[in-house]
Amino acid sequence: MDLVSVRENLTKTLSSSYKPHAYLFSGPKGTGKTSAARIVAKILNCSVTFPKLAKAEKVKDSGIEPCNECESCVAITEGRHLDVIEIDAASNRGIDEIRDLRDKIRLAPAGGRNKIYIIDEVHMLTNDAFNALLKTLEEPPEHTVFILATTEPEKLPETILSRSSKFVFNKANRDEILHALKRVVKGEKIKIDDSSLSLIAEHADGSFRDATKFLEQAVNKKLSSLADVSGMLGWDSIFPEKFLVDLKKNRVNKLLQTIVAMGQRGTDFRFFTAEILNLLHKLLLCVNGIEQTDLSPDLPDMFANQEINQLIKLFSQVYADLKYASRPELPLETAVVEWCQGKEIKNV
């Protein structure tokens, strides 16, 4: 389900006579699940929008929007609304937390029309916590709405799934991310050229969160030109495609020199490694019959299926090791040497 479909389905649900007490937002990280949950929370407490929904007034084709100006909307934006409670299930996954929620849920809203519980990464709850949550979902108070967000819906009990209205968030395409970035830039009055935004949108791999993080890092470093942003993302000296070509040809000395130069310029190697993995993912799909239109024509023919699998494992380990590396360039350098020397041994 793309963003347009999610928006349309949410609009239909919110404007219908049936108002669910539990929503389930599922999909990959960074696709807007928590942001959408906060927007729904705003709508259900908005002084302007909610009365129209309650009267079943006709909703425009453009969808339902909170006013973002009333006290309730402003409070939710600032994270101080007493009736919108966000729970991170990864940190609060036990039965005690859910029992505490169940005890307090009977209380009337402090000031809003509805009490909204947003439970992020809900699949992390323990079995006992799920059972306690289920009892609350079976007979929720009229004023209570749950919004459950998860990247792994398959881990949720069927009893929870059956009591939730489901909305699936897919990865955003490049144009959707670019549109979102332009809205942020306009709203925050940030000076950055469109080509840099396009590069960030491409690099985000379908994640609004990652795109926003890249933009924030560019702003903090006062980078606004394409050359500067390319350097931040590791694209100033070598593109991932060229990196893989050199790797295939065992150009270990050239690759090591490039990595050293990238390190001297302060390139973020996690960004660069993530882009290599994105490219390898496309190659994996391509060599297995799923066409990828944005690949260089010669690239898919350079690697066998087994080589692509090996490279994915290798660079996945690099990405993990980079988090704790004392020297940021070291995991990438050792991976290059390991791969090239391994190929040399096989060719002896």
Q: What is the pLDDT of residues 116-145, one digit of tens each?
A: 999 999 999 988 888 888 888 888 888 899
Per-residue confidence (pLDDT) for residue 178, from 0 to 100: 92
CATH number of 173-233: 1.10.8.60
Asked if residues 133 and 125 have their Cβ atoms less than 8 Å apart, the reply is: yes
Q: What is the pLDDT of residues 199-236, one digit of tens each?
A: 888 878 788 888 999 899 899 988 888 888 877 776 65
Cβ count within 10 A of residue 113: 16
Who wins on pLDDT, 254 or 59?
Answer: 254
- How confident is the model over 318-330, as a mean pLDDT? 91
H helices within the chain, ranges in order? 3-15, 33-45, 49-54, 71-77, 95-104, 127-138, 158-161, 174-188, 194-203, 208-220, 226-232, 240-248, 252-264, 269-287, 299-302, 305-322, 330-347
The model's confidence at residue 346, banded by pLDDT at 50, 70 and 90, is: low
> pLDDT band for position 348 (50/70/90)?
very low
pLDDT score of 87 more than 80: yes
Query: Is CATH 1.20.272.10 the classification given to domain 234-348?
Result: yes
State the pTM of this model: 0.69
Q: What is the mean pLDDT of residues 269-278?
A: 87
Q: How confident is the model at residue 171 (pLDDT cuts 50, 70, 90)?
A: confident
Q: What is the mean pLDDT of the chain?
A: 86
Rounded mean pLDDT, 103-107: 83
Residue 61 confidence (pLDDT) above 50 = no
Stretch 288-317: mean pLDDT, rounded? 87
pLDDT greater than 90 at residue 162: yes
Domain segments of the chain as ranges: 3-168, 173-233, 234-348
b/e string for 253-271 if b means 16 or more Cβ within 10 A?
eebbebbeebbeeebbbbb
Q: Which two tokens stand for residue 208?
A: 């609004």
- Distance, in Å, from the CA atom of 292 to the CA atom of 93, rounded to the nearest integer, reads 40
Contact yes or no for 252/340 (Cβ under 8 A): yes
Q: Does the domain spanning 3-168 belong to CATH 3.40.50.300? A: yes
For residue 1, what pLDDT is reported? 55
The yes-or-no verdict on residue 252 having pLDDT over 90 is: yes
Residue appearing with tokens 């389905």:
9
Compute the average pLDDT of residues 311-327: 93
pLDDT at 295 over 50: yes
Location of structure tokens 């929007």: 65
Q: How confident is the model at residue 343 (pLDDT cuts 50, 70, 90)?
A: low
